[in-house]
Amino acid sequence: MDEIDLHIIEKLTNDARLSFRKIAEELKISPDTVINRYRKLQKKGVVRGSTVVINPKKVGYHCMAAFLVDASSMHILGNETNPVDSSLILHKLISMPNIILATKTVGDHDLLAIGVARDFEHLIHMTSEISRIPGVKDIQVSFWVEKSSLCPKYFIV
Amino acid sequence: MTRGTQIDETDANILRALQRDARHNFADIARKCSVSTDTISKRFRKMKKAGIIRGTTILLNPKSFGYDCVASIGVDVSYPRLNEVVELIQTIPEIVFFATSIGREDIFCIAVLRNVGKLSQIKDLIKGHPLVRNVTTSIWVDEILLCPENFEFGHLRK
């Protein structure tokens, strides 16, 4: 990455819809160069995607929470006992509606998910949905009361 | 509890398209909604003005910038002096997000760090605060799945 890449990244972090033409004008390079640089950054995985940042409260979603999940060491299904694959839990988590981030973790818990809910009842419903995923042993919820504003450079919370 | 600002199906379609790709072409969204491109840009501006849309952004991989460790930090605090610990957390540049919370811990933080050593230093720093009872850390394993488009606008459903 050089100065040009960093400039493109900075501009698009603040406004992902900024036209490549405008960025090119600022840098006094051709729009094609900007497009090629952006594609390269995507290909290298520096830029993982782009998104709109919505204020959940404005569309009726008043709760956000972190779900701290512990996996059991064995998963019993009928007479069969299988080792738990936490990757399966991870993919189940991220395919749930309103879970916007999920990751395996090392340390206090096995997996972590961040979710958006309409109200407390909805949050409880989500918690029980997660607890029903095969291999989930325990789940603890950290219900966010007040959160810092975040320029979502890496995450979209 | 308020139901939030009313948005219609066209607004929701715009949000859904942009959740997946913030650079999604307005003309393309317009075609799918059978309205003019002008309508889409007007709606977009309106939602921005109403604060429904905070902005658009690209999602970066911390590793590409030399930040090899992402972790969540849970902090247990002696009540009722949460704010004093929050003040300390705000001074730590590696903590990119924090929320005061009910449940498992009192403060939930996300930190983006150069390495695990730095995480250990920050853990010690927070633990050193006289009002902090306990600090737990969880390092996020490489496979972090981001899915902003999972965020549904359930109340729109009939």
User: Is there a contact between B58 and A143 if contact means CB atoms under 8 Å apart?
Assistant: no
Q: pLDDT, tens digit, for every residue of B78-112?
A: 877 888 999 999 999 999 889 999 887 899 999 99
| Residues in B 115-144 with any Cβ partner in A closer than 8 A | 136-141, 143-144
Written as one string, the DSSP assignment of B62-129 is GGGGT--EEEEEEEEE-TT-HHHHHHHHHT-TTEEEEEEEEES-SEEEEEEESSHHHHHHHHHHHHTS
Quote the pLDDT of residue B4. 57
Q: What is the pLDDT of residues B110-125, one digit of tens each?
A: 999 999 999 999 999 9
pLDDT, position A151: 47
Task: Kindly state the tokens that stand for A99.
Answer: 């879970």
Domain B9-58 has CATH 1.10.490.10: no
Instruction: Please return the burial class of A52, using the count of CB atoms within 10 Å of its CB with bins 0-12, 13-18 and 19+.
Output: buried
Token digits of residue A140: 């603890």
CATH 1.10.10.10 domain residues, chain A: 3-43
Distance from the Cα of A153 to chain B's closest Cα (Å) equals 6
The shortest C-alpha distance from A47 to chain B (Å) reads: 5
The CATH class that applies to domain A56-143 reads alpha beta
The pLDDT of residue B62 is 86
Domain at B62-139: CATH code: 3.30.70.920
Q: What is the pLDDT of residue A30?
A: 96
**ipTM reported for the complex, 2 dp:** 0.83
Q: Report whether pLDDT(B19) > 60.
A: yes
pTM of the model: 0.84
pLDDT per position as a tens digit, A11-52: 999 899 999 999 999 999 999 999 999 999 999 999 988 989
CATH pick for A3-43 out of 3.30.70.580, 1.10.10.10, 1.10.3470.10, 3.40.50.1370: 1.10.10.10
What pLDDT is attached to residue A90?
93
Does A104 reach chain B within 8 Å, measured CB to CB?
A: yes
| Model confidence at A153: pLDDT above 90 | no
Question: Residue A55's CB: how many other CB atoms inside 10 A?
Answer: 15
Range(s) within chain A of domains with CATH label 3.30.70.920: 56-143
The answer to whether residue B73 scores a pLDDT higher than 60 is yes
Q: Are A98 and B64 a contacting pair at CB < 8 A?
A: no
| Residue A43 touches partner B, C-beta closer than 8 Å | no
What's A46's DSSP letter?
Answer: S
- Residue in A36, A37, A51 with CA at minimum distance from that of residue A6: A37
Instruction: Give the pLDDT of residue B2.
Output: 47
- Residue A54 scores a pLDDT above 50: yes
Q: What pLDDT, on a 0 to 100 scale, did the predictor assign at position B85?
A: 94
Whether the Cβ atoms of residue B66 and residue B76 lie closer than 8 Å to each other? no
Nearest CA in chain A to B61: A46
Give the side-chain half-sphere CA count within 13 A for B158: 2
- The confidence score (pLDDT) of residue A18 equals 96
Greater confidence, A55 or A23?
Answer: A23
% chain A with pLDDT above 90? 63
Which band of pLDDT confidence, cut at 50, 70 and 90, is reported for residue A76? low
Return the pLDDT at B78: 84
Closest Cα in chain B to A10:
B58
Segments making up each domain of chain B, as ranges: 9-58, 62-139
Q: Looking at residue B6, what is its pLDDT? A: 75
